[in-house]
Amino acid sequence: HAMRILHIYKDYHPVLGGIENHLRWLAEAQAARGHDVTVLVTNPAGMRTVVREENGVRVIRAARFATVASTPLSLSLPAILAREKPDIVHLQFPYPVGEVSQWLLRRAPTVISYQSDVVRQATILRFYNPLLKRVLQQAARILASSPNYIQSSPWLRPLAHKCTVVPLAIDVQRFSIPRHDEVARIRQRFPGPLLLFVGRLRYYKGLDYLIRAMKHVDATLLIIGTGPEAARLGAMSYELGLAQKIHFLGDIGDTLLPAYYQAADVFVLPASHRSEAFGIVLLEAMAAGTPLISTELGTGTSWVNQDGVTGLVTRPRDPTALVEAIHTLLRDDTLRHAMGERARQRARSEFDLPVLVERVERVYEEVLR
């Protein structure tokens, strides 16, 4: 039966980001299934509240007056929340403004998608810690994106009884439909073998270590994405004499992106810190049939990428370990293709959007019962 669903987070499409994309896909799929779906976020353009219908979803962008420690602050968000009458409220965590507002107002049973521990913002944590415990305790259900994360998060472990594993998902087909012509063009343009990284260029992505590893690897590395570390990483690869081997391609449009995943021989996510909780880019590479190299952080990345099955998992912050893993895969065509094929199958069975929408709906129904 149809439900009134209210999602809360800080940003929404067209703001770029893994969680923003995830939220949009989920909301639109729920609306397509006949639910009444509202998304409440903050307005990146600032001082006024805007309400729009977008692909069947009612999107409310609440006026924001400031951003502190990458958290947009909005006084109108709680006021808008107070007027809504949802059957179920679904929060993407961490976003303190949303969590605290919902905790104070208790509009409806709360489901929290726990995307990542708060790692960096120690100042916020001091003030937020005691509240955080209450917010999580009050939730009807917590969705964790992997079993690893429940075990390794100090916040989730004590609440394991109310956690359900619901992995993030993508439109697998978008990345798996072969793009032969585009792939051929990419391979002509760059000497192979091709290594690929896709993501925001942030400190916790560990690109320093991958760039250092490239000194000892005979391959081309394509880096797709922009971010605060772009200039520093560009300078670093230049100073190490690797400018011929490493290409910073900036942001690549959605239509071309699948071809890059398919053109790559190996996809590398060298993340260095727990902020990399899951790695949606890993799913995109898997759907394209590309084997993975990722790092052991105790997070979902090592559950998404199964060591020895869909790719290799190495020690974090260790260029030598990356070099070994890259050599292992590049030397052995049979191994590489087998892992790529298993990656594609795993993406289809575990990480496809329809699977996610079903799983989330089941949780809502259990909570409302």
Strands (E), the chain: 4-8, 36-42, 50-54, 57-62, 66-68, 71-73, 88-93, 110-114, 141-144, 163-165, 194-198, 220-224, 246-250, 266-269, 292-295, 311-314
The average confidence (pLDDT) of the chain is: 91
- Strand (E) or helix (H) holding 302: helix 301-304
- Residues 224 and 264: their CA atoms lie apart, in Å, by 12
Per the CB < 8 A criterion, the answer to whether 55 and 30 are in contact is no
Give the tokens for residue 174. 């978008």
CB 11 within 8 A of CB 35: no
Average pLDDT over residues 286-302: 91
Handedness of CA 49, 53, 57, 58 (dihedral sign): positive
Residue 88 has pLDDT above 90, yes or no: yes
How long is the chain? 369
Least trusted range by pLDDT, from 37-46, 125-134, 205-214, 236-245: 125-134
Residue 106 backbone dihedrals phi, psi, to 5 degrees: 45, 60
Residue 263 has pLDDT above 90, yes or no: yes
Q: What is the pTM of this model?
A: 0.82
pLDDT digits (tens, 9 = 90+) for 47-80: 899 999 999 999 999 998 877 767 778 878 888 9
Q: What percent of the chain has pLDDT over 90?
A: 69
Kindly state the average pLDDT of the residues 311-329.
97
**Mean pLDDT, rounded, for 313-338:** 98
Beta-carbon neighbour count of residue 305 at 10 Å? 27
Contact (CB, 8 A) for 361 and 33? yes
Task: Say which residue, 268 or 303, is predicted with more confidence.
Answer: 268
Among 339, 199, 198, 186, CA closest to 263? 186
- Contact, 190 vs 220, CB < 8 A? yes
Confidence of residue 297 (pLDDT cuts 50, 70, 90): confident
Residue 32: pLDDT band with limits 50, 70, 90: very high
Q: Give 3-state DSSP helix, strand, coil % of the chain, rounded to 5.
A: 45, 20, 35
Whether pLDDT at 197 is above 70: yes
CA torsion angle 347 348 354 360 (round to 10): -50
pLDDT in tens, 110-138: 999 987 776 555 566 667 777 888 889 99
With contact defined as beta carbons under 8 Å apart, do 43 and 62 qualify?
Answer: yes
With bands split at pLDDT 50, 70 and 90, how would you rate the model's confidence at 99? Answer: confident
